[in-house]
Amino acid sequence: MLKKIAILGSSGSIGTNTLDIVEQFPDRFEVVGLAVQQNIFKLEEQIRKFHPKVVSVADETQVNELRTRCADVAVEILSGEAGAVAVATHPDVDLVMSAIVGFAGLVPTYEAILAKKQIALANKETLVVAGELIMREIEAQGARLLPVDSEHNAIFQSLQGHRREDIAKIWLTCSGGPFRLYSREQLEHVTAQDALRHPTWFMGQKITIDSASLMNKGLEVIEAHWLFGVGYSDIWVVIHPQSVIHSMVEYRDGSLIAQLGAPDMRIPIAYAMAHPERLDIDVPKLDVTAVGNMSFDEPDWDKFPCLRYAFEAGKIGGTMPAVLNAANEIAVEAFLQERIAFLDLSRIIHDVMEAHDVKAMSSLDVAIEADRWARKYARICIDKIGGKSVTIEATLDVPGMTLPQPEN
Ligand SMILES: NC(=O)c1ccc[n+]([C@@H]2O[C@H](COP(=O)([O-])OP(=O)(O)OC[C@H]3O[C@@H](n4cnc5c(N)ncnc54)[C@H](OP(=O)(O)O)[C@@H]3O)[C@@H](O)[C@H]2O)c1
C-alpha cells in the first residue's frame, strides 16, 4: 500500500536519508509535505524531485524568495511554526517523519499526534521536553509512535515478540564520541571543529556536539524511559566504540536480545517507515567477520557530567528535563559560535538546572514556558562567562516561575 508521508526537517541529515528511502521505493511512499527552517535551496530541489502538495519554511524572511523560485510549480508554500503544523497535519498524510532538530520539533509533532498520524520519531527532544504529555496523547488518540533513533529502534526491534513485563533492563550503547579517550585536561582545550568529527556517525551539528559531550546519550535515556516505560535505574549506558550493536534488551531470565547493523541511519529510518515490513534497502551490509573485536565499557561520569545531569533531570521529572534540554540547546549554540569552551557546556546546564523551580508537566504551555525560562537563564550564564552585560527581562509571565538573578 502507498504510504503518504510528511517530513519535518527534510533538509537535514535524517530528512535527506528519509528521502533516499522514498527514492528507492517510489511505489511504497509518496511525499505529501516537507518542512525546513531556512534552507530554501535544498527545499526547492526536493520540491522539484518529489512533488509535495505543501511545504513550509520556518524562517518567514525566506518564504517569498522560495515562492518566486517555485512560481512554475503547483505547491502550497507556508511559513512559520503554523506552516510546519499544517504540513504535519495535512489530511492526506499517513506518516510524519519528525526530524526537526531540537525543541522546535515539539509543537508540530504534538499536533500530528492530535491529528492521529503515525509518527516516526527522530526528534528525541520532543520526548525529553514533554514525554509525559506526548505518551498520554499517543494513548488517547490511538496514534502510533515508531522510534527512529538507532538505539531506540534497536530496542523496539529487540522487543518484538516479547512481553514488556519480562524486561529486566535496557542497555543503551554509546560510541563514546570523539573524546572518549581524552583526559579532563585535554577536554579543556577541544574546539567545536574537534567535536564535529564524530568517529562513526555523520549527523547534524547539534546532535554531533551532543554526542561529544554524551548529552545525546542522556537525552536518549529520557527518551527510552518514555518510549518503553522503563525506570531510570533499569536503563544502563554502555560504551561500545564500534557502534555495531545499536542497543540491547535484557530479560529477566538473563537473555540479552540485541540488534546489530552497519551504522547507517537509513536502516532504522526504513524500519520505522515500513513497519512491520522490512525493505530490501540499498545500504552497506554489516560483515561481522570484518568487525573483529567488540568492546564494552562503563561511561566516565566525571569526564562527561552531561550524562549524569540528564539522568538526574529525568528522575526529578516535571519541567526539569525541558530545562536541561533548553540549557543544552543554548550552550551548544554558544559552543558552536566559539563563545564558550567545551567544559562550559556541562557547567551551564548544571547552573540552569540548579536555579530551576520544578513544576508538574501539566500542559504544553508549561513545557513551552519552562523552555523559555531556561533559555533566558542559560544566556545569562553564557554572558557571565563571556563577561558581557545582561540585557534580558528578569521576570517571566508564568505564575510562580521567577528568573533568579545571576551573582556578579
Ligand atoms: N542525524 C542523525 O543521524 C540522527 C540520529 C538519531 C536522531 N536524530 C535526531 O533527529 C533530529 C534531526 O537531526 P539531524 O541530525 O537530521 O539534524 P540536522 O541535520 O541539523 O537537520 C535539522 C533539520 O531541522 C530543520 N529545522 C530546524 N529548525 C526548524 C524549525 N523551526 N522548523 C522547521 N524545520 C526546522 C532544519 O532545516 P534547515 O536545514 O533549513 O535549517 C533541518 O531540515 C534531532 O532531534 C536529532 O537528535 C538524528
If residue 322 lies in a helix (H) or strand (E), which one and from where to where? Answer: helix 320-336
| pLDDT given at position 398 | 32
Residues 129 and 222 in one domain: no
Judge whether 66 lies within some domain. yes
Residues 350 and 375 in one domain: yes
Specify the number of domains making up the chain.
3
- Quickly tell me which residue has 543544552 as its cell: 328
Is 295 annotated as ligand-binding?
no
Q: What is the pLDDT of residue 199?
A: 78
Could you tell me if 276 and 142 lie in one domain?
Answer: no
Dump pLDDT digits (tens) for 259-292: 999 999 999 999 999 999 999 999 999 999 999 9
pLDDT bracket for residue 387 (50, 70, 90): very low
User: Is 216 annotated for ligand binding?
Assistant: yes
Same domain, 14 and 123: yes
Q: Is 109 in the pocket of ligand 1 (CB under 6 A)?
A: no
Determine which residue's CA is closest to atom 13 belonging to ligand 1: 101
Q: Residue 391 pLDDT > 80, yes or no?
A: no
Residues 338 and 283 occupy one common structural domain: no
Q: Do 205 and 224 fall into the same domain?
A: yes
Q: Are residues 161 and 255 in the same domain?
A: yes
The torsion angle over the Cα atoms of residues 394, 396, 397 and 399, rounded to 10 degrees, is: -110
Residue 367 lies in a domain: yes
Average pLDDT over residues 156-173: 97
pLDDT tens digits along 41-77: 999 999 999 999 999 999 999 999 999 999 999 999 9
**CATH for 378:** 1.10.1740.10
113 and 171 co-located in one domain: no
In a domain, 131, yes or no: yes
Q: Answer yes or no: do 118 and 168 share one domain.
A: no
The DSSP bridge pattern shows strands 167-174 and 144-147 to be unpaired
Closest CA to 319 of 369, 368, 258, 370: 370
200 band by pLDDT with thresholds 50, 70 and 90: confident
Specify whether 156 is located in the same domain as 284. yes
* Domain membership flag for residue 299: no
Give the integer Cα–Cα distance in Å for 392 and 408. Answer: 15
Query: Contact, 297 vs 288, CB < 8 A?
Result: no
Q: Whose CA is nearest to atom 41 of ligand 1?
A: 37
> pLDDT digit string (tens) for 232-248?
999 999 999 999 999 99
Kindly state whether residues 120 and 156 are assigned to the same domain.
Answer: no
Residue pLDDT, tens place only, 16-30: 999 999 999 999 999
Position 197 confidence tier, pLDDT thresholds 50, 70, 90: confident
Q: Which pTM does this prediction carry?
A: 0.94
Cα-to-centroid distance, 295 and ligand 1 (Å): 30
For 86, the domain range is 3-147
Is the pLDDT assigned to residue 162 strictly greater than 60? yes
Closest to 48 measured CA to CA, from 18, 27, 72? 72
- Confidence class for position 364, pLDDT limits 50, 70, 90: very high
Higher pLDDT, 352 or 200: 352
Whether residues 177 and 224 share a domain: the answer is: yes
- 213 labelled binding-site residue: no
Q: How confident is the model over 183-204, as a mean pLDDT?
A: 91
